[in-house]
Amino acid sequence: MTGDAAGLRRRTAALLAAHPPAGTGRLDFLRARFDAGLAWVHFPEGLGGLGLPRSLQAVVDAELEAAGAPGNDPRRIGIGLGMAAPTILAYGTEEQKRRHLRPLWTGEEVWCQLFSEPGAGSDLAALGTRAVREDGGDWVVNGQKVWTSSAHLARWAILIARTDPDAPKHAGITYFLCDMSDPGVEVRPLRQITGEAEFNEVFLTDVRIPDSRRLGGIGDGWKVARTTLDNERVAIGGMRLPREGGMIGPVARTWRERPELRTHELHQRLLTLWVEAEVSRLTAERLRQQLVAGQPGPEGAGMKLAFARLNQEISGLEVELRGEEGLLYDDWTMRRPELVDFTGRDAGYRYLRAKGNSIEGGTSEVLLNVVAERVLGLPAEPRTDKDVAWKDLAR
């Protein structure tokens, strides 16, 4: 392990010597870093990694940060890094991996996720977007997707579509890599309760996808999508935060700076939430330590639940704390932000945006079922749709 770390430091130093950050363009540096296997060391050699334990990435990151090297702005390309990449790595052909992973990691090509539909939310496997194959050639896709972050910026999408309506719903799905520049792809902003449109609706009309962009087998799409969704939860649960690093930070600062706003009732609620935020932070830290120690536990399943509730309660408290100012809102202008910042803007925005935290990436209600069934082993919900052909389901 320490030998690996020393080797990584040498490799990083060699990269920095060959491509000094000061005299190298950002993209050139990122490409060189990828080619040196220092992008994500747990990926295989030749695909931006070195086949080393994931925990060693921190060694590289620390060296590069100290040298002032440019990063790949992971928040802008989170869907590509956190969801598309691990799925392509697990199920992609060699050609797909070589074509897509490098520009995905450098951020040259942004990815989005075409999963949810108006009629398939929590019940994602009921999705109705159709992909029909033309005489053993291209697939032709028709349907509507929704809640698509970054679709207006994306060059590529991970897409799941129904290829066999006669099979039960989980069995008739196939996974594709969809070119968002295809003329049949129409992206429309979806305005939210915050006033802005960070999500989109995506309409797919006769979109042609070559069979070479199918990921995994025909009809295996649900299994492939599970890899994507499991990685989404890992990405949400794996953060490392300092004390007051989350939503509690802004309200704690307001409390300190604005003594005239303080009341006894709000003080009790603030302290209770501060304690819960600190304990959630410790829980996330404990989960991180478990992952580093190679003892992953089921705790990650609960982290999103906890953060969603806390973000909502804390931001709600802050609106109240601000009193008369809490009646105001900074800006209702319809905008399309490139980045989503849950703790950005003012208290009113934070309050409204946090409402999405218990819906996006799996509703809290569904996650409670997941915990109850997969962690506690309680009986599953009764199923009436499991062995019925998708086309015969009521909708």
Among all residues, which ones are annotated catalytic? 232
Amino acid at the residue 56 = L
Is residue 276 at the binding interface for other proteins, with CB under 8 A as the rule? yes
Residues of the chain by 3-state class (helix, strand, coil), percent to 5 = 50, 15, 40
Q: Figure out which of the listed residues 4, 73, 182, 278 binds other proteins, where binding follows CB under 8 A.
A: 278
Is residue 271 at the binding interface for other proteins, with CB under 8 A as the rule? yes
Q: For residue 50, what are the CA distances in angstroms to 36, 71, 200, 387? A: 9, 19, 36, 43
Q: CA 338, CA 380: separation in Å to the nearest integer?
A: 39
Instruction: Report the residue number, 117 or 313, with the smaller CB distance to other proteins.
Output: 313
Is residue 295 at the binding interface for other proteins, with CB under 8 A as the rule? yes
Q: Figure out which of the listed residues 13, 243, 323, 331 binds other proteins, where binding follows CB under 8 A.
A: 243
Is residue 286 at the binding interface for other proteins, with CB under 8 A as the rule? yes
Is residue 264 at the binding interface for other proteins, with CB under 8 A as the rule? yes
Count, in order, helices (H) and strands (E) of the chain: 12, 8
Is residue 267 at the binding interface for other proteins, with CB under 8 A as the rule? yes
DSSP state of 220: -
Is residue 62 at the binding interface for other proteins, with CB under 8 A as the rule? no
Query: What string marks each residue from 352 to 381 as x (binds other proteins by CB under 8 A) or -?
Result: -------------x--xx-xxx-xxxxxxx
Query: What string marks each residue from 19 to 48 as x (binds other proteins by CB under 8 A) or -?
Result: ------------------------------
Q: CA 333, CA 248: separation in Å to the nearest integer?
A: 26
Instruction: Report the residue number, 142 or 364, with the smaller CB distance to other proteins.
Output: 364
Q: CA 387, CA 389: separation in Å to the nearest integer?
A: 7
- In whole angstroms, the minimum distance from the beta carbon of 373 to other proteins comes to 7
Instruction: Report the residue number, 75 or 240, with the smaller CB distance to other proteins.
Output: 240
* Long-range residue pairs from 332-335, CB within 8 A, at least 24 positions apart, any chain: 332/195, 333/195, 333/196, 334/189, 334/191, 334/195, 334/196, 334/197, 335/195, 335/196, 335/197
Instruction: Report the residue number, 212 or 263, with the smaller CB distance to other proteins.
Output: 263
Q: CA 369, CA 47: separation in Å to the nearest integer?
A: 37
Q: Figure out which of the listed residues 144, 290, 343, 363 binds other proteins, where binding follows CB under 8 A.
A: 290
Q: Which of residues 299-328 bind other proteins (CB under 8 A)?
A: 299, 302, 305-306
Is there a contact between 226 and 215 (Cβ–Cβ < 8 Å)?
Answer: no
Interface segment toward other proteins; rule CB under 8 A; list 35-43, 144-152, 294-302, 320-328:
294-302
Is there a contact between 304 and 211 (Cβ–Cβ < 8 Å)?
Answer: no
Q: CA 372, CA 361: separation in Å to the nearest integer?
A: 18
Is residue 272 at the binding interface for other proteins, with CB under 8 A as the rule? yes
Query: What string marks each residue from 156 to 175 as x (binds other proteins by CB under 8 A) or -?
Result: --------------------
DSSP per-residue codes, 203-216: EEEEEEE-GGGEES
- Total number of residues that touch other proteins (CB under 8 A): 45
Is residue 330 at the binding interface for other proteins, with CB under 8 A as the rule? no
Q: Provide the token pair at 392.
A: 């015969």
- In whole angstroms, the minimum distance from the beta carbon of 111 to other proteins comes to 31
Q: Figure out which of the listed residues 126, 247, 270, 308 binds other proteins, where binding follows CB under 8 A.
A: 270
Burial profile 75-84: b = 16 or more Cβ within 10 angstroms, e = fewer: eebbbbbbbb
Is residue 279 at the binding interface for other proteins, with CB under 8 A as the rule? yes
Q: What is the Cα 188 distance to its own chain's centre?
A: 21
Interface segment toward other proteins; rule CB under 8 A; list 141-149, 227-235, 270-278, 348-356:
270-278
Q: Which residue has the tokens 């089921």?
A: 298
Q: Provide the token pair at 272.
A: 């209770």
Instruction: Report the residue number, 203 or 274, with the smaller CB distance to other proteins.
Output: 274
**What is the binding site for other proteins (CB under 8 A)?**
243, 252, 255-256, 259, 262-264, 267-268, 270-272, 274-276, 278-280, 282-283, 285-286, 289-290, 293, 295, 299, 302, 305-306, 365, 368-369, 371-373, 375-382
